[in-house]
Amino acid sequence: MSRFTIPRDVYFGRGSLDTLKTIEGKKAIVVVGGSAMKKFGFLDKTVRYLKEAGLAVEIFEGVEPDPSVETVMRGAEAMRKFEPDWIVSIGGGSPIDAAKAMWAFYEYPETTFEQLITPFNFPKLRRKAGFIAIPSTSGTATEVTAFSVITDYSSGIKYPLADFNITPDIAIVDPDVADTMPKALTAFTGMDALTHAHEAFVSTLHSAFTNPLALQAIKSVFEQLQAAYNGDKNAREEMHYAQCLAGMAFSNALLGIVHSMAHKTGAAFSTGHIPHGEANAIYLPYVIQYNAKDAAAKSRYAQIARFIGVDGKDEDALIAALIGKIRKLNALFEIPATLKDFGIREAEFKEKLAAISANAVGDACTGSNPRSIDPAKMERLFGCIYYGRDVDF
Ligand SMILES: NC(=O)c1ccc[n+]([C@@H]2O[C@H](COP(=O)([O-])OP(=O)(O)OC[C@H]3O[C@@H](n4cnc5c(N)ncnc54)[C@H](O)[C@@H]3O)[C@@H](O)[C@H]2O)c1
Ligand SMILES: [Fe+2]
Protein backbone atom coordinates (compact mmCIF):
# COMPACT_ATOMS: atom_id res chain seq x y z
CA MET A 1 0.00 0.00 0.00
CA SER A 2 1.19 3.51 -0.79
CA ARG A 3 0.10 6.82 0.63
CA PHE A 4 -0.35 10.27 -0.89
CA THR A 5 -0.82 13.11 1.61
CA ILE A 6 -1.35 16.81 0.93
CA PRO A 7 -3.15 19.56 2.89
CA ARG A 8 -6.92 19.26 3.12
CA ASP A 9 -7.30 22.74 1.54
CA VAL A 10 -5.05 24.64 -0.84
CA TYR A 11 -6.30 28.19 -1.48
CA PHE A 12 -4.56 29.85 -4.38
CA GLY A 13 -4.73 32.94 -6.55
CA ARG A 14 -3.89 36.60 -6.11
CA GLY A 15 -5.57 37.91 -2.96
CA SER A 16 -6.25 34.44 -1.54
CA LEU A 17 -4.60 35.56 1.72
CA ASP A 18 -7.98 36.99 2.69
CA THR A 19 -9.28 33.47 3.23
CA LEU A 20 -7.82 33.97 6.73
CA LYS A 21 -10.95 36.01 7.47
CA THR A 22 -12.93 32.75 7.44
CA ILE A 23 -10.81 30.74 9.89
CA GLU A 24 -12.73 29.41 12.88
CA GLY A 25 -10.94 29.30 16.22
CA LYS A 26 -9.93 31.15 19.36
CA LYS A 27 -6.25 32.00 19.25
CA ALA A 28 -3.64 32.12 16.50
CA ILE A 29 0.11 32.51 16.83
CA VAL A 30 1.71 33.99 13.72
CA VAL A 31 5.29 32.81 13.10
CA VAL A 32 7.42 35.01 10.80
CA GLY A 33 11.03 35.56 9.83
CA GLY A 34 13.00 38.80 9.77
CA SER A 35 11.58 41.92 8.25
CA ALA A 36 10.32 41.14 4.71
CA MET A 37 6.72 40.23 5.60
CA LYS A 38 6.47 43.22 7.95
CA LYS A 39 8.04 45.63 5.46
CA PHE A 40 5.71 44.67 2.63
CA GLY A 41 2.58 44.75 4.83
CA PHE A 42 1.72 41.04 4.71
CA LEU A 43 2.24 40.51 8.43
CA ASP A 44 -0.21 43.33 9.22
CA LYS A 45 -2.75 41.88 6.79
CA THR A 46 -2.40 38.40 8.30
CA VAL A 47 -2.98 39.72 11.82
CA ARG A 48 -5.87 41.95 10.71
CA TYR A 49 -7.65 39.16 8.82
CA LEU A 50 -7.31 36.72 11.72
CA LYS A 51 -8.67 39.33 14.12
CA GLU A 52 -11.55 39.95 11.72
CA ALA A 53 -12.27 36.22 12.01
CA GLY A 54 -12.56 36.75 15.77
CA LEU A 55 -9.25 35.21 16.88
CA ALA A 56 -6.85 36.60 19.48
CA VAL A 57 -3.44 36.93 17.81
CA GLU A 58 0.14 36.81 19.04
CA ILE A 59 3.24 37.16 16.86
CA PHE A 60 6.48 35.17 17.13
CA GLU A 61 9.00 36.95 14.92
CA GLY A 62 12.65 36.84 14.04
CA VAL A 63 13.06 33.27 12.75
CA GLU A 64 16.46 33.35 11.03
CA PRO A 65 17.22 31.87 7.56
CA ASP A 66 18.00 28.15 8.09
CA PRO A 67 16.39 28.10 11.53
CA SER A 68 18.18 26.72 14.58
CA VAL A 69 17.10 24.21 17.20
CA GLU A 70 17.22 27.08 19.76
CA THR A 71 14.74 29.21 17.79
CA VAL A 72 12.42 26.22 17.52
CA MET A 73 12.56 25.69 21.29
CA ARG A 74 11.87 29.40 21.99
CA GLY A 75 8.88 29.35 19.66
CA ALA A 76 7.49 26.20 21.26
CA GLU A 77 7.81 27.86 24.66
CA ALA A 78 5.89 30.95 23.39
CA MET A 79 3.18 28.58 22.10
CA ARG A 80 2.94 26.74 25.41
CA LYS A 81 2.37 30.10 27.15
CA PHE A 82 -0.18 31.44 24.65
CA GLU A 83 -1.94 28.12 23.90
CA PRO A 84 -3.04 28.82 20.31
CA ASP A 85 -5.44 26.53 18.45
CA TRP A 86 -3.99 27.73 15.12
CA ILE A 87 -0.36 28.13 14.12
CA VAL A 88 -0.13 30.45 11.13
CA SER A 89 3.24 30.81 9.48
CA ILE A 90 3.96 33.28 6.71
CA GLY A 91 7.31 33.68 4.97
CA GLY A 92 9.95 31.61 3.24
CA GLY A 93 10.81 28.01 3.96
CA SER A 94 12.72 29.04 7.08
CA PRO A 95 9.91 30.46 9.28
CA ILE A 96 7.39 27.87 8.05
CA ASP A 97 9.79 24.98 8.73
CA ALA A 98 10.60 26.41 12.16
CA ALA A 99 6.89 26.75 12.96
CA LYS A 100 6.29 23.10 11.98
CA ALA A 101 8.97 21.92 14.42
CA MET A 102 7.67 24.32 17.12
CA TRP A 103 4.26 22.72 16.62
CA ALA A 104 5.65 19.28 17.56
CA PHE A 105 7.38 20.60 20.69
CA TYR A 106 4.27 22.62 21.62
CA GLU A 107 2.10 19.53 21.52
CA TYR A 108 4.75 17.24 23.05
CA PRO A 109 7.02 19.29 25.36
CA GLU A 110 8.66 16.11 26.62
CA THR A 111 9.86 15.02 23.16
CA THR A 112 13.50 15.55 22.13
CA PHE A 113 15.05 16.79 18.88
CA GLU A 114 16.87 13.44 18.63
CA GLN A 115 13.52 11.60 18.63
CA LEU A 116 12.13 13.83 15.87
CA ILE A 117 15.04 13.41 13.46
CA THR A 118 14.16 9.74 13.00
CA PRO A 119 12.08 9.84 9.78
CA PHE A 120 8.36 9.20 10.13
CA ASN A 121 8.56 8.91 13.90
CA PHE A 122 6.44 11.91 14.96
CA PRO A 123 3.76 11.64 17.59
CA LYS A 124 0.18 12.41 16.46
CA LEU A 125 -0.30 16.18 16.15
CA ARG A 126 -3.46 18.38 16.08
CA ARG A 127 -4.38 17.66 19.71
CA LYS A 128 -3.81 21.36 20.44
CA ALA A 129 -3.56 23.25 17.14
CA GLY A 130 -4.00 23.16 13.39
CA PHE A 131 -1.45 24.61 10.97
CA ILE A 132 -1.77 27.19 8.18
CA ALA A 133 1.21 27.88 5.89
CA ILE A 134 1.55 30.90 3.60
CA PRO A 135 4.71 30.79 1.46
CA SER A 136 6.46 34.01 0.42
CA THR A 137 9.10 32.31 -1.72
CA SER A 138 8.52 30.12 -4.76
CA GLY A 139 10.60 27.04 -4.07
CA THR A 140 10.52 25.02 -0.88
CA ALA A 141 6.78 24.18 -1.06
CA THR A 142 6.91 23.59 2.67
CA GLU A 143 3.24 24.70 2.69
CA VAL A 144 2.31 21.27 1.31
CA THR A 145 5.15 19.03 2.48
CA ALA A 146 5.80 16.63 5.31
CA PHE A 147 9.23 18.18 5.91
CA SER A 148 10.89 20.73 8.12
CA VAL A 149 14.60 21.47 7.87
CA ILE A 150 16.27 22.56 11.10
CA THR A 151 19.97 23.33 11.55
CA ASP A 152 22.07 22.23 14.50
CA TYR A 153 24.68 25.00 14.52
CA SER A 154 26.90 23.18 17.01
CA SER A 155 27.72 20.69 14.23
CA GLY A 156 26.76 22.77 11.16
CA ILE A 157 24.38 19.99 10.09
CA LYS A 158 20.89 20.46 8.66
CA TYR A 159 18.35 17.87 9.72
CA PRO A 160 15.31 17.24 7.57
CA LEU A 161 12.46 16.27 9.90
CA ALA A 162 9.96 14.16 8.00
CA ASP A 163 6.48 13.01 8.90
CA PHE A 164 3.02 13.32 7.37
CA ASN A 165 1.86 14.69 10.74
CA ILE A 166 3.56 18.00 9.88
CA THR A 167 1.93 18.36 6.46
CA PRO A 168 -0.04 21.59 7.03
CA ASP A 169 -3.86 21.58 7.25
CA ILE A 170 -4.26 24.63 5.04
CA ALA A 171 -1.91 26.10 2.42
CA ILE A 172 -2.53 29.60 1.09
CA VAL A 173 -0.61 29.97 -2.16
CA ASP A 174 -1.07 33.67 -2.89
CA PRO A 175 1.35 34.95 -5.57
CA ASP A 176 1.01 38.52 -4.25
CA VAL A 177 2.98 37.47 -1.17
CA ALA A 178 5.91 36.25 -3.32
CA ASP A 179 5.97 39.16 -5.81
CA THR A 180 8.38 41.09 -3.62
CA MET A 181 11.16 38.51 -3.92
CA PRO A 182 14.42 40.02 -5.18
CA LYS A 183 15.98 38.48 -8.31
CA ALA A 184 18.55 36.22 -6.65
CA LEU A 185 15.96 34.76 -4.26
CA THR A 186 13.62 34.12 -7.21
CA ALA A 187 16.41 32.25 -8.97
CA PHE A 188 17.58 30.22 -5.96
CA THR A 189 14.11 29.19 -4.80
CA GLY A 190 13.07 28.42 -8.39
CA MET A 191 16.09 26.15 -8.84
CA ASP A 192 15.17 24.47 -5.54
CA ALA A 193 11.74 23.71 -7.00
CA LEU A 194 13.31 22.39 -10.21
CA THR A 195 15.51 20.09 -8.12
CA HIS A 196 12.55 18.86 -6.05
CA ALA A 197 10.67 17.88 -9.18
CA HIS A 198 13.68 16.09 -10.76
CA GLU A 199 14.49 14.20 -7.57
CA ALA A 200 10.83 13.22 -7.02
CA PHE A 201 10.49 11.98 -10.60
CA VAL A 202 13.50 9.67 -10.43
CA SER A 203 13.07 8.71 -6.76
CA THR A 204 12.68 5.03 -5.90
CA LEU A 205 9.33 6.01 -4.35
CA HIS A 206 7.90 7.79 -7.40
CA SER A 207 4.30 6.80 -8.10
CA ALA A 208 1.31 7.25 -10.37
CA PHE A 209 0.24 10.15 -8.14
CA THR A 210 3.58 11.97 -7.97
CA ASN A 211 4.79 11.54 -11.59
CA PRO A 212 2.38 13.95 -13.31
CA LEU A 213 2.95 16.62 -10.67
CA ALA A 214 6.73 16.34 -10.98
CA LEU A 215 6.75 16.41 -14.78
CA GLN A 216 4.42 19.40 -15.02
CA ALA A 217 6.43 21.27 -12.39
CA ILE A 218 9.67 20.73 -14.37
CA LYS A 219 8.00 21.94 -17.58
CA SER A 220 6.59 25.04 -15.90
CA VAL A 221 9.89 25.96 -14.25
CA PHE A 222 11.75 25.71 -17.57
CA GLU A 223 9.05 27.82 -19.22
CA GLN A 224 8.61 30.46 -16.52
CA LEU A 225 11.66 30.88 -14.31
CA GLN A 226 13.68 33.14 -16.58
CA ALA A 227 10.74 35.54 -17.05
CA ALA A 228 9.95 35.35 -13.32
CA TYR A 229 13.56 36.28 -12.59
CA ASN A 230 13.17 39.28 -14.88
CA GLY A 231 10.09 40.39 -12.92
CA ASP A 232 7.23 39.19 -15.16
CA LYS A 233 4.24 39.00 -12.81
CA ASN A 234 2.39 36.31 -14.72
CA ALA A 235 5.50 34.11 -14.78
CA ARG A 236 5.97 34.69 -11.05
CA GLU A 237 2.40 33.54 -10.46
CA GLU A 238 2.98 30.39 -12.54
CA MET A 239 6.22 29.71 -10.64
CA HIS A 240 4.40 30.00 -7.33
CA TYR A 241 2.02 27.24 -8.43
CA ALA A 242 4.71 25.12 -10.11
CA GLN A 243 6.80 24.96 -6.95
CA CYS A 244 3.70 23.86 -5.04
CA LEU A 245 3.05 21.03 -7.52
CA ALA A 246 6.68 19.97 -7.13
CA GLY A 247 6.13 19.98 -3.36
CA MET A 248 3.13 17.67 -3.60
CA ALA A 249 5.29 15.32 -5.66
CA PHE A 250 8.40 15.26 -3.48
CA SER A 251 6.53 15.20 -0.19
CA ASN A 252 5.20 11.82 -1.25
CA ALA A 253 8.00 10.48 -3.48
CA LEU A 254 10.79 11.96 -1.31
CA LEU A 255 14.05 13.38 -2.66
CA GLY A 256 17.58 12.24 -3.49
CA ILE A 257 21.25 13.00 -3.01
CA VAL A 258 21.21 16.57 -4.38
CA HIS A 259 19.33 17.41 -1.22
CA SER A 260 21.50 15.15 0.95
CA MET A 261 24.55 17.07 -0.27
CA ALA A 262 22.92 20.51 0.05
CA HIS A 263 21.80 19.74 3.61
CA LYS A 264 25.29 18.78 4.66
CA THR A 265 27.19 21.62 2.98
CA GLY A 266 24.87 24.62 3.50
CA ALA A 267 26.44 25.62 6.80
CA ALA A 268 29.70 23.64 6.63
CA PHE A 269 32.24 26.12 5.23
CA SER A 270 33.78 29.23 6.74
CA THR A 271 33.36 31.04 3.40
CA GLY A 272 29.75 31.52 4.39
CA HIS A 273 26.44 29.91 4.06
CA ILE A 274 25.48 28.39 0.66
CA PRO A 275 21.79 29.26 0.10
CA HIS A 276 19.79 26.03 -0.16
CA GLY A 277 18.49 26.59 -3.70
CA GLU A 278 21.89 27.71 -4.96
CA ALA A 279 23.56 24.57 -3.56
CA ASN A 280 20.94 22.42 -5.31
CA ALA A 281 21.41 24.30 -8.57
CA ILE A 282 25.18 23.71 -8.47
CA TYR A 283 24.87 19.99 -7.61
CA LEU A 284 21.92 18.92 -9.81
CA PRO A 285 23.78 18.56 -13.18
CA TYR A 286 26.51 16.41 -11.58
CA VAL A 287 24.00 14.22 -9.75
CA ILE A 288 22.06 13.63 -12.98
CA GLN A 289 25.34 12.43 -14.55
CA TYR A 290 25.94 10.15 -11.56
CA ASN A 291 22.41 8.74 -11.36
CA ALA A 292 22.13 8.25 -15.13
CA LYS A 293 24.71 5.46 -14.84
CA ASP A 294 21.75 3.45 -13.49
CA ALA A 295 19.65 2.22 -16.45
CA ALA A 296 16.24 2.81 -14.86
CA ALA A 297 17.14 6.32 -13.69
CA LYS A 298 18.63 7.05 -17.10
CA SER A 299 15.38 6.26 -18.87
CA ARG A 300 13.45 8.45 -16.41
CA TYR A 301 15.71 11.46 -17.02
CA ALA A 302 15.26 10.86 -20.74
CA GLN A 303 11.49 10.83 -20.16
CA ILE A 304 11.78 14.26 -18.49
CA ALA A 305 13.76 15.55 -21.46
CA ARG A 306 11.13 14.30 -23.93
CA PHE A 307 8.30 15.76 -21.84
CA ILE A 308 9.81 19.24 -21.93
CA GLY A 309 10.33 18.99 -25.68
CA VAL A 310 14.08 18.49 -25.85
CA ASP A 311 15.50 16.75 -28.94
CA GLY A 312 18.03 13.94 -28.89
CA LYS A 313 18.78 10.83 -30.92
CA ASP A 314 19.11 8.58 -27.87
CA GLU A 315 18.91 8.67 -24.08
CA ASP A 316 22.48 9.95 -23.73
CA ALA A 317 21.79 12.87 -26.05
CA LEU A 318 18.49 13.66 -24.35
CA ILE A 319 20.12 13.71 -20.91
CA ALA A 320 23.03 15.84 -22.13
CA ALA A 321 20.49 18.32 -23.50
CA LEU A 322 18.56 18.33 -20.20
CA ILE A 323 21.77 19.03 -18.26
CA GLY A 324 22.60 21.73 -20.80
CA LYS A 325 19.28 23.47 -20.09
CA ILE A 326 19.90 23.41 -16.33
CA ARG A 327 23.43 24.80 -16.79
CA LYS A 328 22.07 27.53 -19.06
CA LEU A 329 19.65 28.65 -16.35
CA ASN A 330 22.45 28.60 -13.76
CA ALA A 331 24.65 30.76 -15.96
CA LEU A 332 21.82 33.20 -16.56
CA PHE A 333 21.27 33.51 -12.80
CA GLU A 334 25.02 33.88 -12.13
CA ILE A 335 25.06 30.65 -10.12
CA PRO A 336 28.61 29.24 -10.17
CA ALA A 337 29.22 25.92 -11.93
CA THR A 338 31.54 24.57 -9.21
CA LEU A 339 32.10 24.80 -5.47
CA LYS A 340 35.52 26.27 -6.21
CA ASP A 341 33.90 29.11 -8.12
CA PHE A 342 31.48 29.60 -5.23
CA GLY A 343 34.54 30.60 -3.24
CA ILE A 344 35.16 27.57 -1.00
CA ARG A 345 38.90 27.39 -0.31
CA GLU A 346 40.61 24.23 -1.59
CA ALA A 347 42.38 23.51 1.71
CA GLU A 348 39.11 23.72 3.64
CA PHE A 349 37.29 21.61 1.05
CA LYS A 350 39.91 18.87 1.32
CA GLU A 351 39.95 19.04 5.10
CA LYS A 352 36.15 18.67 5.37
CA LEU A 353 35.54 16.35 2.40
CA ALA A 354 35.46 13.07 4.34
CA ALA A 355 33.10 14.40 6.99
CA ILE A 356 30.64 16.12 4.63
CA SER A 357 30.62 13.03 2.40
CA ALA A 358 29.84 10.68 5.29
CA ASN A 359 27.17 13.08 6.57
CA ALA A 360 25.58 13.41 3.12
CA VAL A 361 25.39 9.62 2.69
CA GLY A 362 23.69 9.46 6.10
CA ASP A 363 21.11 12.14 5.24
CA ALA A 364 17.47 11.08 5.23
CA CYS A 365 17.16 11.97 1.50
CA THR A 366 19.77 9.41 0.39
CA GLY A 367 17.48 6.39 0.87
CA SER A 368 15.19 7.26 -2.05
CA ASN A 369 17.95 8.20 -4.52
CA PRO A 370 17.71 5.95 -7.60
CA ARG A 371 21.38 4.91 -7.50
CA SER A 372 23.09 3.87 -4.27
CA ILE A 373 26.16 5.68 -3.01
CA ASP A 374 28.80 5.11 -0.33
CA PRO A 375 31.11 7.64 1.34
CA ALA A 376 34.01 6.92 -1.05
CA LYS A 377 31.85 7.54 -4.14
CA MET A 378 30.34 10.59 -2.47
CA GLU A 379 33.85 12.01 -2.00
CA ARG A 380 34.53 11.48 -5.72
CA LEU A 381 31.22 13.14 -6.61
CA PHE A 382 32.03 16.16 -4.44
CA GLY A 383 35.45 16.24 -6.12
CA CYS A 384 33.75 16.55 -9.54
CA ILE A 385 31.55 19.36 -8.20
CA TYR A 386 34.48 21.21 -6.66
CA TYR A 387 36.71 21.10 -9.74
CA GLY A 388 34.02 21.02 -12.44
CA ARG A 389 34.79 17.54 -13.82
CA ASP A 390 32.27 15.32 -15.60
CA VAL A 391 31.10 12.36 -13.53
CA ASP A 392 32.47 9.26 -15.28
CA PHE A 393 31.98 6.60 -12.59
N1 LIG B 1 10.25 21.89 4.32
C2 LIG B 1 10.60 21.60 3.09
O3 LIG B 1 9.94 20.79 2.45
C4 LIG B 1 11.79 22.28 2.51
C5 LIG B 1 12.13 22.06 1.17
C6 LIG B 1 13.24 22.72 0.66
C7 LIG B 1 13.96 23.58 1.46
N8 LIG B 1 13.64 23.77 2.77
C9 LIG B 1 14.37 24.69 3.68
O10 LIG B 1 13.83 26.00 3.55
C11 LIG B 1 14.86 26.96 3.84
C12 LIG B 1 14.98 27.96 2.72
O13 LIG B 1 13.78 28.62 2.52
P14 LIG B 1 13.61 29.75 1.41
O15 LIG B 1 14.46 29.42 0.27
O16 LIG B 1 12.17 29.92 1.20
O17 LIG B 1 14.25 31.06 2.08
P18 LIG B 1 14.19 31.67 3.55
O19 LIG B 1 12.89 31.43 4.22
O20 LIG B 1 15.41 31.24 4.30
O21 LIG B 1 14.28 33.23 3.24
C22 LIG B 1 15.47 33.77 2.68
C23 LIG B 1 15.42 35.30 2.77
O24 LIG B 1 14.41 35.81 1.91
C25 LIG B 1 13.61 36.79 2.54
N26 LIG B 1 12.27 36.75 1.93
C27 LIG B 1 11.39 35.72 2.02
N28 LIG B 1 10.28 36.01 1.28
C29 LIG B 1 10.48 37.24 0.71
C30 LIG B 1 9.70 38.06 -0.14
N31 LIG B 1 8.50 37.67 -0.60
N32 LIG B 1 10.19 39.26 -0.49
C33 LIG B 1 11.42 39.65 -0.06
N34 LIG B 1 12.21 38.91 0.74
C35 LIG B 1 11.75 37.71 1.14
C36 LIG B 1 13.65 36.37 3.99
O37 LIG B 1 13.36 37.46 4.84
C38 LIG B 1 15.08 35.85 4.16
O39 LIG B 1 15.96 36.89 4.44
C40 LIG B 1 16.12 26.17 4.03
O41 LIG B 1 16.37 25.99 5.42
C42 LIG B 1 15.84 24.86 3.35
O43 LIG B 1 16.64 23.80 3.85
C44 LIG B 1 12.55 23.14 3.27
FE1 LIG C 1 14.84 21.92 -1.35
Distance CA 358, CA 28 (A): 41
Q: How far is ligand 2, taken at its centre, from the CA of residue 263, in Å?
A: 9
Question: CB-side exposure of 294: number of CA atoms within 13 Å?
Answer: 16
User: Whose Cα sits closest to atom 6 in ligand 1?
Assistant: 140
Q: Which of 206, 75, 204, 77 is nearest to 150 (CA)?
A: 75
Note the pLDDT of residue 266: 86
Note the pLDDT of residue 119: 82
Q: Is the CB of 33 under 6 A from ligand 1?
A: yes
Structural domain spans, the chain: 9-178, 183-387
Note the pLDDT of residue 250: 98
Would you give the end-to-end CA distance of the chain in angstroms? 35
Q: Is the CB of 277 under 6 A from ligand 1?
A: yes
Amino acid at 131: F
Question: CB-side exposure of 108: number of CA atoms within 13 Å?
Answer: 15
User: Using one digit for the tens of pLDDT, what is the confidence trace for 87-111?
Assistant: 999 999 999 999 999 999 999 999 9
Q: Is the CB of 363 under 6 A from ligand 1?
A: no
Q: Is the CB of 180 under 6 A from ligand 1?
A: yes
Ligand 1 atom with the shortest distance to the CA of 189: 15
Note the pLDDT of residue 320: 98
Distance CA 139, CA 135 (A): 9
Q: Is the CB of 195 under 6 A from ligand 1?
A: no
Pocket mutation for ligand 1, best pick of 137, 192, 239 (most atoms within 8 Å of C-beta): 137
Ligand 1 atom with the shortest distance to the CA of 177: 31
Output the tens digit of pLDDT for each of the chain's 393 residues: 899 999 999 999 999 999 999 999 999 999 999 889 999 999 999 999 999 999 999 999 999 988 999 999 999 999 999 999 999 999 999 999 999 999 999 999 999 888 888 888 888 999 999 999 999 999 999 999 999 999 888 877 778 899 999 999 999 999 999 999 999 999 999 999 999 999 999 999 999 999 999 999 999 999 999 999 999 999 999 999 999 999 999 999 999 999 999 999 988 898 888 999 999 999 999 999 999 999 999 999 999 999 999 999 999 999 999 999 999 999 999 999 999 999 999 999 999 999 999 999 999 899 999 999 999 999 999 999 999 999 999
DSSP state of 14: T
Q: Which of 169, 96, 93, 94 is nearest to 138 (CA)?
A: 93
User: Whose Cα sits closest to atom 25 in ligand 1?
Assistant: 36
Per the CATH hierarchy, to which homologous superfamily does domain 183-387 belong? Dehydroquinate synthase-like - alpha domain (1.20.1090.10)
Note the pLDDT of residue 152: 87
DSSP 235-261: HHHHHHHHHHHHHHHHHHH---HHHHH
255: left (phi over 0), alpha (psi -120 to 50) or beta: beta
User: Using one digit for the tens of pLDDT, what is the confidence trace for 185-205?
Assistant: 999 999 999 999 999 999 999
Q: Which of 308, 342, 294 is nearest to 198 (CA)?
A: 308
Q: How far is ligand 2, taken at its centre, from the CA of residue 362, in Å?
A: 17
Note the pLDDT of residue 340: 97
| Domain range 9-178, CATH architecture | 3-Layer(aba) Sandwich (3.40)
Q: Hey, how many other C-beta atoms are within 10 angstroms of the C-beta on 230?
A: 12
Distance CA 112, CA 95 (A): 20
Asked whether the beta carbons of 304 and 201 are under 8 A apart, the reply is: yes
Note the pLDDT of residue 229: 98
- Helix 276-291 to helix 257-265 angle (10° resolution) is 140
User: Whose Cα sits closest to atom 4 in ligand 1?
Assistant: 140
User: pTM of the predicted model, to two decimals?
Assistant: 0.96
